[in-house]
Amino acid sequence: MKIGSKLLTVAQRIAATTTDFALVSLVLGGSLALLASIMAHNAHVDMSGPFDAATPGLSWTEGAALSLAPYFLVLLPFVWLIYEATLTRTCKGTTAGKLLFRVRTLSLTGDLSTWQCILRTTLKIMSVLLLLSIGHPLALAGVLAVYVAVPVFTVKTQFIFDLLASTTVAKRGT
């Protein structure tokens, strides 16, 4: 496979992951917002005034968003794990993002096992969290360059989490 073709595959994979991440974030964020609204409605909270007497400059919606942010950040990796591992296992290696970008996950050892899907997704989430924890722009650029270079220079276009889980992602139909 030529480097240009590998870069296209890597770009498709990153776009698919970004799509899945956005979808999971929207569903989780919307669910938490709906829950907050239901709780406020049932608790008869005055939503026209300030959120709290201690924070008079904060509207109710701003205060609710700030109070739900920690739950969102804690739940997001777990919801993403359940979403991606379950869909990858049950939908022949695809998720919504992979379906949109016409790629799918394959096992190098036969059929995809549940443990391969869980391990791959866990390692993928950990790698994204690691990337998000890098604060210095030059360090982030260097790590991203290595992150993208690994699949370009492996035979089966595998990221590090694919190598560890014995999986690869290929265009659908192959």
Helix (H, G, I), strand (E, B) or coil at 34: helix
105, containing H or E segment = strand 103-107
Which region holds residue 136: left if phi is over 0, alpha if psi is between -120 and 50, else beta? beta
**Does residue 40 fall inside a structural domain?**
yes
Weakest mean pLDDT among 12-16, 67-71, 132-136, 165-169: 67-71
- What total of structural domains would you count in the chain? 1
Q: Which domain holds residue 113?
A: 1-169
**Does residue 174 fall inside a structural domain?**
no
pLDDT at 144: 92
**Does residue 73 fall inside a structural domain?**
yes
Among candidates 92, 77, 86, which has minimal Cα distance to 122? 77
Mean pLDDT of all residues in 146-154: 92
**Does residue 144 fall inside a structural domain?**
yes
**Does residue 105 fall inside a structural domain?**
yes
In degrees and rounded to multiples of 5, residue 44 shows phi and psi of 55, 50
Whole-number Å distance between alpha carbons of 168 and 160? 10
pLDDT at 158: 94
Whole-number Å distance between alpha carbons of 172 and 105? 9
What is the per-residue pLDDT across 92-143, written as a single tens digit (0 to 9) for each? 999 999 999 999 999 999 999 999 999 999 999 999 999 999 999 999 999 9
**Does residue 122 fall inside a structural domain?**
yes
Half-sphere exposure of 47 (CA within 13 A, CB side): 12
Q: What long-range pairs does 132-138 form, CB within 8 A, spacing at least 24?
A: none
**Does residue 55 fall inside a structural domain?**
yes
pLDDT at 121: 97
Helix (H, G, I), strand (E, B) or coil at 55: strand
Whole-number Å distance between alpha carbons of 168 and 81? 18
Supply the pTM of this predicted model: 0.84
Average pLDDT, the chain: 88
Per-residue pLDDT for 44 more than 70?
A: no
Whole-number Å distance between alpha carbons of 91 and 163? 21
**Does residue 109 fall inside a structural domain?**
yes
pLDDT at 7: 87
- Return the HEC string of 158-172: CCHHHHHHCEEEEEC
Whole-number Å distance between alpha carbons of 172 and 101? 9
